[in-house]
Amino acid sequence: MDGKFLLQDLAELLAEAEGLQKNEAQSFVRVFFDTITRGLEMDKIVKVKGLGTFKLVDVDSRESVNVNTGERFLIDGHAKITFTPDNSLKEMVNRPFAHFETVVLNDDVTDEDLEEVDRKFEETVPVEGLEDFLAEEPFIPSIEPVVPVAPVLPAEPAVVAQPEPEVEEPVAVEEPVVVPVTPEEPTALAEPEVPVAETPAAVEIPAAPAVEPVAPVTEPVVPAEPVKEQPAPAETAAETASSEPVLVKLVDPVNVNVSPEPVEHTPEPETETKNNHFRNIWIVLCIVALLLGYLLGYFNVFSSKSSYRPSIIRDTVYVQKIVRDTIEVEKVVPNELITEPKAEEPKSGAAKTEAKPAAKPVEQTVDSNIPQLKGGAYLIVGTKETYTLRGGETIRIIAERYFGSRQMAPYIALYNNIPNPDMVAAGTVLKIPELKLKKKQ
């Protein structure tokens, strides 16, 4: 990789492939490139099939400025050599990236999205690691966050829909539990009356329904949860349940002979089937926990993204109309956004009131926690006041109102930790910084 391949190596390989003498091959390769040069001299264009087109392009003379002295000087017009690779060569070289296609960007995709994708892209792919990159192919999935609204939302109804059947499930599970108990009770009642010989038969009958109720339990479970593991434990539960009656049958006659009689074995299957159902419930609970974890992680990602999303609500309105869930989610997020700064305000406000009287007599005792604009003429001393941004207002407009110049916008953006001053949501509570000129003299 990335080695230098010289004319000599080329000649060697050529000699090998064509069965030529080394010096013959070398002279041919020399002539090959010489001819291209000659052709450029003669016609200003050389087309070589399979390689590409070399072209001489005239560049007009232009004025430039000497970087060191600031003097203006003229760059003479000259010929520039351009090379356009042939399609076949282009495709061959680009083969590692051939699966990429140009994508139409949605209106709501901002530059920040792309930067974020870039960052992820670079994290996952070392620039030179083409082979790893090919193996991973992270690009296509990484594009999905670029168009976050569409792919993310369909997942949500699914998540919302799932808990409902889950809630029903325990009920469904409990019911069958109750059912097998009741048929056995009559048998238990019947037993004292009926002679010993009949009891196994009586037990057999309730045992069969005991197995059956388990089966319906597995059924609601399967459609509710797409998880494959679920049916398997349910089946084992059914199996153990079916094996139980056998145990009961075996034990029964003995019990009957001894005399404590059915009272003992009726609770037994009950608790054991209950255990099975408990296992089911536990599995369901585990899955719910997993889903919750997934949801939490998803919301973390989403809320961090949506910090600028509301500002583009204009553009995304049509998306929201299509999918109702977006509105709910986005409603929640701005609230968070608003509450967060509010929570911070009193602190910083208090800090300001305390710091201010001290700051006035003593020069430039600035809280080191406040971020300062690098290269700016002013220092941010504290919070002057807060302002809730209305629709149609930008930080620039606010800057003009408070400081008389739109160029002060970066201070507000910095103080409020806004990465992109052009993308601020209406309703955002802004802290207007108190500014102080850095150097008085």
Partner 1 sequence: MNNKEFLSELSTRSGYSVQNAQKLTDTVIQILSEQLCDGNLVSVQGFGNLEVKKKMERVMVSPITKKRMLVPPKLTVSFKPSISLKDKLK
The CB-side HSE value for 7 (13 A sphere, CA atoms) comes to 12
Instruction: Pick between residue 127 and residue 254 the one whose CB is nearest to partner 1.
Output: 127
- Does residue number 6 form part of the binding site for partner 1 (CB under 8 A)? yes
**Cα 313–chain centre separation:** 21
Reference 298, options 159, 163, 174, 170; nearest CA is 159
- Stretch 333-362 residues interacting with partner 1 (CB under 8 A): none
Give the pairing type, strands 78-85 and 52-59.
antiparallel
Q: What is the dihedral of CA 188, 189, 192, 193, to 10 degrees?
A: -130
Closest separation in Å from C-beta 369 to partner 1: 37
Query: To 5 degrees, how large is the angle CA 412–CA 414–CA 416?
Result: 70
The CB-side HSE value for 219 (13 A sphere, CA atoms) comes to 7
- Does residue number 1 form part of the binding site for partner 1 (CB under 8 A)? yes
Instruction: Pick between residue 109 and residue 241 the one whose CB is nearest to partner 1.
Output: 109
Closest separation in Å from C-beta 76 to partner 1: 9
Instruction: Pick between residue 39 and residue 231 the one whose CB is nearest to partner 1.
Output: 39
The residue type of 4 is K
Instruction: Pick between residue 107 and residue 239 the one whose CB is nearest to partner 1.
Output: 107
Q: Interacting stretch for partner 1, rule CB under 8 A, among 11-19, 248-256, 263-271, 274-282?
A: 11-19
| Cβ atoms 188, 205 nearer than 8 A | no
Closest separation in Å from C-beta 18 to partner 1: 6
User: Longest C-alpha distance within the chain, in Å?
Assistant: 122
Closest separation in Å from C-beta 20 to partner 1: 8
The residue type of 410 is P
Please identify which residue in 112, 146, 255, 298 interacts with partner 1, judged by CB under 8 A: 146
Q: Interacting stretch for partner 1, rule CB under 8 A, among 3-11, 156-164, 307-315, 335-343?
A: 3-11
Tokens of 32: 């090959």
Q: How many residues contact partner 1, by CB under 8 A?
A: 65
Closest separation in Å from C-beta 174 to partner 1: 54
Burial 272-294 (b: 16+ CB within 10 A, else e): bbbebbeebeebbeebeeebeee
Residue 354 has phi, psi (to 5 degrees) of -70, -40
- Stretch 99-128 residues interacting with partner 1 (CB under 8 A): 100-105, 109, 114, 127
| Cα 414 from Cα 112, distance rounded (Å) | 16
Which residues have CB under 8 Å from 83's CB, separation 6+?
52, 53, 54, 55
Q: What distances in angstroms separate CA 303 from CA 60, 116, 307, 334, 341, one per listed residue?
A: 53, 15, 7, 9, 15
Please identify which residue in 22, 64, 129, 130 interacts with partner 1, judged by CB under 8 A: 130
Residue whose structure tokens are 């008389």: 404
- Stretch 16-55 residues interacting with partner 1 (CB under 8 A): 17-18, 27-29, 31-43, 45-52, 54
Instruction: Pick between residue 145 and residue 183 the one whose CB is nearest to partner 1.
Output: 145
Closest separation in Å from C-beta 118 to partner 1: 8
- Does residue number 299 form part of the binding site for partner 1 (CB under 8 A)? no
What are the beta bridge partners of residue 47? 53
Instruction: Pick between residue 27 and residue 218 the one whose CB is nearest to partner 1.
Output: 27
The CB-side HSE value for 126 (13 A sphere, CA atoms) comes to 4
Closest separation in Å from C-beta 12 to partner 1: 10
- Does residue number 422 form part of the binding site for partner 1 (CB under 8 A)? no
Instruction: Pick between residue 43 and residue 229 the one whose CB is nearest to partner 1.
Output: 43
| Cα 404 from Cα 401, distance rounded (Å) | 6
Instruction: Pick between residue 33 and residue 282 the one whose CB is nearest to partner 1.
Output: 33
Instruction: Pick between residue 143 and residue 217 the one whose CB is nearest to partner 1.
Output: 143
- Does residue number 56 form part of the binding site for partner 1 (CB under 8 A)? yes
- Stretch 64-103 residues interacting with partner 1 (CB under 8 A): 78-79, 81-83, 85, 89-90, 92-97, 100-103
| Cα 24 from Cα 22, distance rounded (Å) | 5
Q: Which residues bind to partner 1, rule: CB under 8 A?
A: 1-7, 10, 13-14, 17-18, 27-29, 31-43, 45-52, 54, 56, 78-79, 81-83, 85, 89-90, 92-97, 100-105, 109, 114, 127, 130, 139, 143, 146
